[in-house]
Amino acid sequence: MHENNTDNNDVIICRCEEISKEEIINAIRNGADTVTLVKKYTRAGMGLCKGKTCSIVIQRLIAEYSSKSPDQIPFDIEREPFRPIKISVMGNYEDENALVDHEICLKRK
């Protein structure tokens, strides 16, 4: 919807990693013109919520501070797990219920 345009550059955009608007704008000015690169430059979106809140705002900022239009700014690549999964849960499985053929794993790109 609306990005209000008062400067307020110290406002936090990524709550999980505590990344400010200013840090994100700097990254964009240094060439980070995708959500993926903003993440890799600043850590915004690297936290527990995986950018569920801040991705949209970062897309808006990229549109505002780079030459890209919104339809050129997709989301970051999604890597599993989509939701935080405890290590003890990830490690709790029975081979026959949870492991797939090695061939299937090799095909994943």
Partner 1 sequence: MIEKKADVVIVGGGIIGCSTAYGLAKMGIKVIVIERDYVASQGSGRNAGGVRVQGRLPAELPIAMEAVEIWKTLDKELGINSEYRQTGNVFLASSEKEKELHEKMAKRLQKQGLKDVRVLSEQEVRKVIPALKQGMCKGGSYCTIDGMANPLNTTFGYANAAAALGVEIIEHTKVDSIDLANTRVDGVTAGDLKVKCDTLMVAIGSWSNDLMEPLGIKIPITPCRNQIFVTEVLPPIVEPFLLTPIVYCNQTYNGNMFVGNVDPDDYCLGNSANPNETKRTARDIIRYIPALADASIIRAWGGPLDLSADDMPILGDVPGTEGLVVACGFSGHGFASAPYIGKLLSEHIGLGKSSYSLDAFRYKRFQETNAKVDENVYAYGQAIGKNR
Partner 2 sequence: MFEVDLLIVGAGPAGLCAALEAGQEGLSVLLVDENAKPGGQLFKQIHKFFGSEMHKAGTRGFRIGENLVREIAECPNITLWLNSVVFSAIDQNHFEVVHNCSVQVINTKKVIVATGAIEKGLVFPGWTLPGVMGAGALQTMININRVRPGNKLLMVGSGNVGLIVSYQFLQAGGESVILVEAANRIGGYGVHASKIRRYGTNIITGCSVESVSGNGKVESAILAKVDDKFQTIKGTQWEEKVDIVAIAAGLYPLMELLRQLGCEFTMCPPLGGWVPVHDERMETSLNGIFIAGDVSGAEEASTAMEEGRLAAWSVTYDLAKCTKNKYESVRIDITKRLEALRSGPYGIARKNAKDSIYAIAKNFSKLR
Positions touching partner 1 (CB under 8 A) are 30, 37, 40-41, 43, 46-48, 50, 77, 79-81, 84-88, 90-93, 98-100, 102, 105-109
In angstroms, the CA 66 to CA 52 distance is 22
Give 10 or 95: the residue with its C-beta nearer to partner 1.
95
* 33 three-class SS: coil
Q: Which region, judged by CB under 8 A, interacts with partner 2, from 26-34, 36-44, 82-90? A: 82-90
Would the CA dihedral through 32, 33, 38, 40 be positive or negative? negative
Task: Provide, rounded to whole angstroms, the least separation between the CB of residue 35 and partner 1.
Answer: 13
Judge residue 105's burial from the number of C-beta atoms within 10 Å of its C-beta, 0-12 exposed, 13-18 middle, 19 or more buried: exposed
Q: Which region, judged by CB under 8 A, interacts with partner 2, from 26-34, 40-48, 93-101? A: 93-101
CA-nearest of 56, 50, 84 to 70 is: 56
Q: Which region, judged by CB under 8 A, interacts with partner 2, from 26-34, 40-48, 89-97? A: 89-97
